[in-house]
Chains A and B, each alone.
Chain A
Amino acid sequence: MAERMTGAEMVIQALTDQGVEHIFGYPGGAALPIYDAMFQQDVVQHILVRHEQGATHMAEGYARSTGKCGVVLVTSGPGATNAVTGLTDALMDSIPMVCITAQVPTTLIGSDAFQECDTVGITRSCTKYNYLVKRVEDLPRIMHEAFLIATTGRPGPVVIDIPKDVQFALGDYYKPDLETLRHQSYRPQVDGDAAAIEAAVDLMLKAERPIFYTGGGVINAGPEASKHLRELAELTGFPVTSTLMGLGAFPASNPQWMGMLGMHGTYEANWAMHDCDVMINIGARFDDRITGRIDAFSPNSRKIHVDIDPSSINKVVRVDVPIIGDCERVLSEMVRVWRSKTNQPRTEAIAPWWNQIEKWRAVNSLGYKNSDTVIKPQYAIERLYEMSKKQGKEVFITTEVGQHQMWAAQHFHFDQPNHWMTSGGLGTMGYGLPAAVGVQVAHPDALVIDIAGEASVQMTMQEMSTAVQYRLPIKIFILNNERMGMVRQWQDLLHGSRYAHSYSESLPDFVKLAEAYGGKGIRCENPAELDAAIAEMFDYDGPVLFDVIVEKDENCLPMIPSGKPHNEIILPDTANIGDIIDEKGRQLV
């Protein structure tokens, strides 16, 4: 049954019908009719941000921690352009998001009107799809189709640009039948090809040096996918590694877990990837941070690749068994087919492989030299991890981008999916603080921590004010090395230690800054006082900025330098290379 209402009311009605409870936004002239319609209802709760980029990252954190679609509302012109970074971030990391941008009235489009910009033009390449709504009649269909496109297939951001006159116009609102009204060309394939799945399982049944290489696709496919992955790992007995985006899909506490792989991944994960004979890639995309030098990447393995996006297959690395489909469906089929063929894990056949893995593991590639005079960043994260476990709360971690992000991935351990939020593909400094706000909005009682760098956190610092306004007790844990540590590390590695602009000069007093925002500030520089300070942070019922003064020139290791093969991995000097690496190998290091 159609109901008569304005375009602005349709927006709110469609959000309500989509079950949207929270939206992140910032008003402006062209968006006012929608804001007015929002004011007159209380189903959809609006979180007022401080910068539109913040709104997009909040929506990402919200989406990734709930599996729901994140929703953003911004005004025309600068509102839309400020959202571009978050849209690109969501596209790169396949995060479902609907971003409504207001636009100048249709009659003014193209006239360089005040706060006009070509939003659909600007966002075409950083969205999965975008719309300019020219007639109010199209609005109900577009609103609902946008959610369908954002959340199905390979998820991603969708922009709906709505001119002000369309927001005012009266029309009939209805819930469209999307089977007939949507783009008929949009039909993502979710079920994997049965013969391909069969072929994959047959390969796995003969594997002697197998490895599961899992990615963000497992998280995106929902918690059931993680369950099936765990089941399949148990049935097969194979080792599991994951990309940065996939952490938590497989429990870090499981003995089959090998840690993260890639540029800052563990020695064992990278070597196992290199030496395996069957690689089972589930929902990862052979990103260059993973493969290193492509011609030297896992040269002797047969590769199975499960991905919902056909264009990911054979894009970077040629695979033997491609399976296009949703990770959840394909994993559950793999479990079923495996069960139908055997009731035994391949324990004996792969015992020598596990022996080898244990030797690599013994290298202890995440080791570091602790100190009792200065806080080591790795130590700070270890303590944060240990103490957060005892809080009796669900713990969610977000990060900024840099060394602290990699240390968080290495030293904070995740046993569940959807509890780790980080900017992987785009590597957006400034992601973590607003993402934490978004997570906390969705999980008011959880412990939400942004593991931050002092440089990154200043990019979206103002969202501290949002946290204070909505009483969101996020904890911002700054590993303050007074450096853009990751940049400094690269300058050491590749540019003769000429530290061009990689200092964090004129840093604010973060304690005072926290207080100025109405939150709590804590500073700690003594390892002996760290535990007490972390406890103080947890105990405070409100947002906290915790300035942890850490070792300034610590390197993030292990590291496979960009463009190098896996056997040129740089290990920390605490690594126990013993009889694993011969003289020649040691020289490479």
Chain B
Amino acid sequence: MNAHLQPTGSAYFITKETQEQERHTLSVLVDNEPGILARVVGLFSARGYNIESLTVSETEHGRRLSRITVVVIATPKTLIQIKLQLERLVPVHKVHDLTAEGASIERELALIKVAGSGEHRAETLRLADAFRAHIVDATVESFVFEVTGKPDKIDSFIALMQPLGLVEVVRTGLAAISRGPQGM
């Protein structure tokens, strides 16, 4: 029954995990109160869970609710624990595992600064157009692009900009929501 676990459950002998890790996006509805982010982040560090990305912002001002979107990498067993441990926090209303629950939309926004001249500049603009990146700042020797999309689309755009004079990148982290009429 517990065969997926290696020898022990003891602080004195280290247990080896044999389950594969997966990447999941969790959406956490919380009371927007002081310390809430520290509580959530503290839980992750205290219990040794890996956070890949975390975004937080107030979503319903009247009810003082915030939505935290967190991307975690964990084994299926740990994923369940993460959800239950989050739900144990007093100001947490709900936790949804968007990845497990089926179709969801995931978006991220990035601001990308590229400097260059001549041939590079033209190539940069052609690629930006293909990725529907908006120019939000331009000088004779630089652009700042705003690009929105799934994280891997942003990854590829950044990779393409690398040889064309990439200066720096800022990313918002993931925002995610389930498809269909139902809310959280």
Contacts and interface: CB of A to CB of B under 8 A. Distances in A.
Contacts of A310: 84, 87-88
Given A185-B91, A293-B9, A124 B39 contact: yes
A132 B35 CA distance: 9
B31 A183 contact: yes
Interface stretch (A13-21, A28-36, A294-302): A294-302
Interface stretch (A311-319, A378-386, A400-408): A311-319
Given A125-B42, A185-B31, A311-B88, A318 B2 contact: yes
A255 interface: no
Interface residues of B, number: 33
B12 A295 contact: no
A562 B12 contact: yes
Which of A121, A149, A563 gathers most chain B CB within 10 Å?
A563
A138 B81 CA distance: 33
A183 B32 CA distance: 11
Contact of B10 (A125, A132, A318, A563): A563
A208 interface: no
Nearest to B7: A293
A562 B13 contact: yes
B7 A563 contact: yes
A442 interface: no
A313 B81 CA distance: 9
B182 interface: no
Given A314-B80, A563-B13, A128 B42 contact: no
B9 A311 contact: no
A412 interface: no
Contacts of A186: 90
A309 B91 contact: no
Contact of A124 (B3, B8, B42): B42
A311 B42 CA distance: 17
Given A293-B9, A563-B7, A129 B90 contact: yes
Contacts of A318: 1-2
Interface string B9-45: 1111101000000000000001100110011001100
Nearest to A564: B8
A506 interface: no
Given A311-B81, A311-B88, A294 B38 contact: no
Interface string A163-190: 0000000000000000000011110000
B58 to A, nearest CB: 15
Contact of A149 (B12, B80, B90): B90
A577 B3 CA distance: 30
Interface string B81-93: 1001101101111
Contacts of A315: 81, 84
B11 A288 contact: yes
Contact of A297 (B2, B15, B87, B91): B2
Contacts of A184: 93
B81 to A, nearest CB: 6
Nearest to B94: A185
A183 B91 contact: yes
Contact of B8 (A120, A286, A563): A563
Interface in B69-103: 77, 80-81, 84-85, 87-88, 90-93
Name B's interface SS: mixed
A318 B80 CA distance: 12
Contacts of A288: 8-11
A291 interface: yes
Nearest to B14: A563
Contacts of B31: 183, 185
A120 B38 CA distance: 10
B111 to A, nearest CB: 31
Nearest to B11: A288
A186 B93 CA distance: 8
Nearest to A293: B8
B131 to A, nearest CB: 40
B46 interface: yes
B1 A299 contact: yes
Contact of B35 (A124, A183, A297): A124
Interface in A206-225: none
B81 A185 contact: no
Which of B35, B77, B81, B90 gathers most chain A CB within 10 Å?
B90
B62 to A, nearest CB: 14
Given A297-B2, A299-B1, A120 B13 contact: no
Nearest to A490: B12
Contact of A185 (B9, B12, B30, B46): B30
Interface in B109-161: none
Contacts of B42: 124-125
A146 B132 CA distance: 52
Interface string A303-329: 000000111011111100000000000
Which of B1, B6, B13, B93 gathers most chain A CB within 10 Å?
B1
Contact of B5 (A124, A125, A294): A294
B34 A294 contact: no
Contact of B15 (A120, A124, A294, A317): A294
Contacts of B6: 295
Nearest to A263: B10
Interface string A112-130: 0000000011001100110
A125 B40 CA distance: 10
A132 B39 CA distance: 14
A314 B4 CA distance: 13
Contact of B90 (A134, A183, A291, A563): A183
B38 A314 contact: no
B84 A311 contact: yes
Interface of B: 1-3, 5-13, 15, 30-31, 34-35, 38-39, 42-43, 46, 77, 80-81, 84-85, 87-88, 90-93
Nearest 10 Cβ contacts at the A-B interface: A311-B84, A563-B8, A563-B13, A294-B9, A185-B93, A563-B10, A129-B90, A562-B12, A288-B9, A562-B10
23 contacts: A120-B35, A124-B42, A128-B90, A129-B90, A149-B90, A185-B31, A185-B91, A185-B93, A288-B9, A288-B11, A294-B8, A294-B15, A295-B2, A295-B5, A295-B6, A297-B9, A310-B87, A311-B88, A314-B77, A317-B2, A562-B12, A562-B13, A563-B10
Given A292-B10, A297-B9, 13 more contacts: A125-B43, A134-B34, A183-B91, A185-B30, A288-B9, A295-B6, A311-B81, A311-B87, A311-B88, A317-B1, A563-B7, A563-B8, A563-B13
